[in-house]
Amino acid sequence: MKVLLLGANSQLGWELQRTCPEKIQLISCDYPKVDFCSKTSIKQCLETSKPDCIINAAAYTAVDLAEKEIQTAFKVNHEAVADIAQYAGQNDIRLVHISTDYVFNGKNYRPWTIEDSPCPESVYGKSKLEGEIAVRDILKNKALIIRTAWLYSSHGENFVKTMLKLITKKNSLNVVDDQVGTPTWAYGLAKGVWEFIEKSLSGIFHWTDAGIASWYDFAIAIQEEAMGLGLITKTIPILPISSKEFPTPAQRPFYGILDKNMTWKTTAGLNPVHWRVQLRAMLKELN
C-alpha cells in the first residue's frame, strides 16, 4: 500500500516514519514541499503522489499564536483539510486525520467520549474542529479521525524538552497544577496509527497514553526521571501554581482526559501504557 504522509517533520510524522511497517511504501511530505495555505501546492502534492492512503499529521499547532493568526490557523487546520478530504473522496483514497482534545472545552468531570459534543474555546481548537467536520461531511464514515493530546517526542519542540532546558538554566520553576490531561509519547501513537491502518478502521477514535497528570505532575516526573537517567545534573524546586497565575493568550482545557475504552478494545495488540513508563522510555532515547 502506498501511503502519503503529510506533516512528515511533525513530532508524530517523525515517529510514523521510524515505525513504518516494511510492507508500506511511504511518501513523506512537509512544508515547504507542500504548503497548506496554497490550494495549488496541495493539489500538486496529491496528484504527483497518487497514494492509496493519506495520513495528515500536519497542522497549525501554535496554540497561543493562533489567537492572532486566525486566518492562517483556519487555512491550515480547516480549508486545507477539506481540500485533502475532497481529493480523497474523488479518488477513493483512505484518509487518516489527526485531531485534538482541544475540540472540547475542558469543563467536565469524566473523560470525554466520542459521543460528547465538541465545544472548543481556543482558535486552534475551533479550527481543528472545523477540519474534523469537513472530513466527516465529505467522507462520511469512510475516514479515520484520531484525537490525541499532550504529545511529545525526542524529535521537535515540546513540554519535556522545555522542562529539561529550564531545569538546567533556572533555580526554581512554577508550573500550573489545575489543568489535567495525559502526556502522550508520539511513538506509541504512531504505532497505533499503523495498527488502525492495518485494520482498515474508520470513524473517530481517541488515543493517548494511560493515566492522568497535571502539567505540574508531569514536570515533577520529568525532573525525577531525567535525574535518575543522568540527563540533568541538578534538581530544582518545582512549585504548583494556578492557571490564573500563568495567563496565556489561548484558553486551555482544564480537563483534557480522553476516553480510550473503544480504542483499547479495538487495538487489542497494543495494550495501554502508563504515561510515566512512556516518559522514561523517551528520556532513555534522548540520553
Ligand X SMILES: NC(=O)c1ccc[n+]([C@@H]2O[C@H](COP(=O)([O-])OP(=O)(O)OC[C@H]3O[C@@H](n4cnc5c(N)ncnc54)[C@H](OP(=O)(O)O)[C@@H]3O)[C@@H](O)[C@H]2O)c1
Residue 105 binds ligand X (CB under 6 A): no
- Convert residues 156-195 into a mask of x (bound to ligand X by CB under 6 A) and - (unbound): x-----------------------------x---------
Task: Compare residues 24 and 37 and give the one whose CB is closer to ligand X.
Answer: 37
Task: Compare residues 239 and 286 and give the one whose CB is closer to ligand X.
Answer: 286
Give the three cell numbers for residue 48.
504527483
DSSP-derived letter for residue 102 is: G
- Convert residues 57-86 into a mask of x (bound to ligand X by CB under 6 A) and - (unbound): xxxxx--------------x----------
**Looking only at residues 239 through 268 of this chain, which bind ligand X when binding is defined by CB under 6 A?**
none
Query: Given the rule CB under 6 A, which of 30-38, 242-250, 260-268, 271-279 is the region that contacts ligand X?
Result: 30-38
Give DSSP secondary structure letters for 124-178: HHHHHHHHHHHHHHHHGGGSEEEEE-SEE-SSS--HHHHHHHHHHH-S-EEEE-S
Helical pair 215-229 and 275-286, crossing angle rounded to 10 deg: 40
Set 87, 124, 152, 255: catalytic member: 124
Query: Given the rule CB under 6 A, which of 27-35, 87-95, 196-204, 214-222 is the region that contacts ligand X?
Result: 27-35
Site size for ligand X, by CB under 6 A? Answer: 27
Whether 102 contacts 251, CB under 8 Å: no
Task: Compare residues 49 and 227 and give the one whose CB is closer to ligand X.
Answer: 49
Residue 149 binds ligand X (CB under 6 A): yes
Respond yes or no: is residue 102 known to be catalytic.
no
- Convert residues 210-239 into a mask of x (bound to ligand X by CB under 6 A) and - (unbound): ------------------------------
Query: Where would I find the beta strands (DSSP E) of 199-275?
Result: 203-206, 213-214, 238-241
- Convert residues 31-60 into a mask of x (bound to ligand X by CB under 6 A) and - (unbound): x--xxxx-------------------xxxx
Q: In angstroms, what is the minimal distance from the CB of 230 to ligand X? A: 27
> Which residues, 6+ apart, have CB-to-CB distance to 240 below 8 Å?
174, 175, 176, 177, 214, 216
DSSP-derived letter for residue 34 is: S
Distance CA 185, CA 193 (A): 13
Q: In angstroms, what is the minimal distance from the CB of 148 to ligand X? A: 5
Residue 129 binds ligand X (CB under 6 A): no
User: What is residue 19's three-state secondary structure?
Assistant: coil
Q: In angstroms, what is the minimal distance from the CB of 172 to ligand X? A: 25
Give the three cell numbers for residue 13.
510524522
Could you give the C-alpha distances from 56 to 13, 176, 224, 274, in angstroms and in order?
Answer: 9, 31, 35, 26
Distance CA 8, CA 3 (A): 12
Whether 195 contacts 269, CB under 8 Å: yes
By annotation, the residues acting in catalysis are: 124
Residues that bind ligand X (CB under 6 A): 7, 9-13, 30-31, 34-37, 57-61, 76, 98, 100, 128, 148-151, 156, 186
